[in-house]
Structure 1
Amino acid sequence: MSRNDIDRLLWDILPQILSDIQMKNRIGNYLTELRKAGKIKNQTKRGNESNWVSAVD
């Protein structure tokens, strides 16, 4: 799942009082938290394209 896919999925769930930048940061923080917990991993092949997948089998 790409970062854009994740953004679209979570955008309407986040509080609308947040600015666009705050929403983007909150999603990024959540992805970082999941990555550090070993629940997801990034399979980036090149550049800034992120492809997040479950790390749990």
Structure 2
Amino acid sequence: MPSILDAIQDYVLSDEEIAQIQARTLVFDAEAEQFHVQPGATAFFTHRLFDWLDQNL
């Protein structure tokens, strides 16, 4: 019986496959926002999210 690590190898992409991916991706890093209070952080996040959506959809 194969282990879960063996099964994961079925999903590893080659460099050529990775180079073909063209999907836009939005990544947020909450660590960079550590100095905002929670209500401000939520508003800041929402603003950035909707700006990105407006530009990319």
Shorter-chain TM band: 0.3 to 0.5
Q: Which has the higher helix share?
A: 2
- Higher Cα Rg: structure 1 or 2? 2
> What TM-score, normalized by structure 1, do the two folds share?
0.42
Q: TM-score scaled by structure 2?
A: 0.42
